[in-house]
Amino acid sequence: MRELGRVFDSVADAYDAGRPTYPDEMYHALSEVSGIQLAGATAVDVGAGTGILTRALRARGSRVIAVDAGSEMLARLLSKATDDGIAALLADGNALPLTDGVADLVTYAQSWHWLDPVVSIAEARRVLRPDGAIVGCWNLAHAAEAEWLAAHEARLAAECPTYWGPALAEWSVPPIAAAMEVVEERWIAWTRLVGIEDFLLNLRSHSYMAALSPEAADDLVARQRVELRKVFPEGVLYVPMRVYLAVGK
Ligand SMILES: C[S@@+](CC[C@H](N)C(=O)[O-])C[C@H]1O[C@@H](n2cnc3c(N)ncnc32)[C@H](O)[C@@H]1O
């Protein structure tokens, strides 16, 4: 468990402060496609991290069981939980410590690609009620929409040995749709307005940055800051984003 959670635990503060939330349209699409109203639903949020999706589901009336392998990530999630409608379990998403048929939704927000692609989906099906749904979503910077963003990603690709993102020709969204039997996919475009420092905090929360030495990460962030300031001297970025949403069984 310690091993599984380690990558993100080391950047839990940056994750909590820097990562964007998901746009409202995503929650509408999730309900529309799944036929499940969030108010009153029970969701198991696997790889819940610091609780970005967990809190949003709770705010929309779901009871949420947040599961994560990282104790630091879960500690931040719990510190921000507003009521007892959120429960947290330190566990492997490939072996959920839950009985069969307890959930309306099993959600993987930016997390399914860390799990076993077959075992995780079998576990999700086991804990779902018969009319429940599996949800995968990824909030992605849309590099093809802005030259500055493509250049930013290209610098990351050149300097981070474990970089995985839109600067690579072979990059694609995680194949969760192929892991399910019935599935509907949506792409939801939105624009993130964010200060340069928060954008750089977000950058530090990526696993390919966490894999660098602290000195190399600091140096790369400093150089990215210089390049971003050339394009956005006022310090606020307009980041073209898109959410990939897959809802299935
Ligand atoms: C990129 S973060 C996503 C966090 C959050 N869902 C969000 O949307 O911001 C991925 C999370 O998956 C967790 N994780 C990785 N492998 C896991 C596993 N096998 N079981 C449970 N959680 C896992 C990590 O600890 C991390 O918190």
**Rounded to 10 degrees, what is the CA torsion of 200, 215, 211, 14?**
-30
Percent share of the chain, pLDDT over 90: 92
Q: Ligand 1 centroid vs 233 CA: distance in angstroms?
A: 34
pLDDT band at 18 (very low <50, low <70, confident <90, very high): confident
Question: For residue 217, how many other CB atoms are within 10 A of its CB?
Answer: 20
pTM: 0.94
pLDDT at residue 8 in the model? 85
* Domains of the chain by residue range: 2-248
Report the helix count and the strand count for the chain, using DSSP H and E: 10, 7
CA distance 190 to 60: 20
Return the best residue to mutate from 52, 54, 58, 68 for the ligand 1 pocket (most ligand atoms within 8 A of CB).
68
Show contacts of 164-169: CB within 8 Å, 24+ apart: 164/208, 165/208, 166/140, 166/141, 166/142, 167/143
pLDDT band at 3 (very low <50, low <70, confident <90, very high): low
- Give how far the C-alpha of residue 113 lies from the chain's centroid of Cα atoms, to the nearest Å: 10
Across the range 6-30, mean pLDDT stands at 89
Residues in contact with ligand 1 (CB, 6 Å cut-off): 4-5, 8, 19, 46-49, 52-53, 67-70, 73, 92-94, 109-111, 114-115
In the predicted model, is pLDDT for residue 5 greater than 80?
Answer: no
Q: Ligand 1 centroid vs 119 CA: distance in angstroms?
A: 16
Residue 52 region by backbone torsions, left for phi larger than 0, else alpha for psi between -120 and 50, else beta: alpha
pLDDT band at 117 (very low <50, low <70, confident <90, very high): very high
pLDDT at residue 83 in the model? 92
CA distance 119 to 123: 6
CA distance 132 to 53: 18
pLDDT at residue 1 in the model? 56
pLDDT band at 120 (very low <50, low <70, confident <90, very high): very high
pLDDT band at 156 (very low <50, low <70, confident <90, very high): very high
Q: Ligand 1 centroid vs 187 CA: distance in angstroms?
A: 22
Sequence-distant (≥ 6) Cβ neighbours of residue 217 within 8 angstroms: 204, 209, 210
Report the top-level CATH class of 2-248: alpha beta
At 96-106, the pLDDT tens digits run 999 999 999 99
Q: Ligand 1 centroid vs 114 CA: distance in angstroms?
A: 7
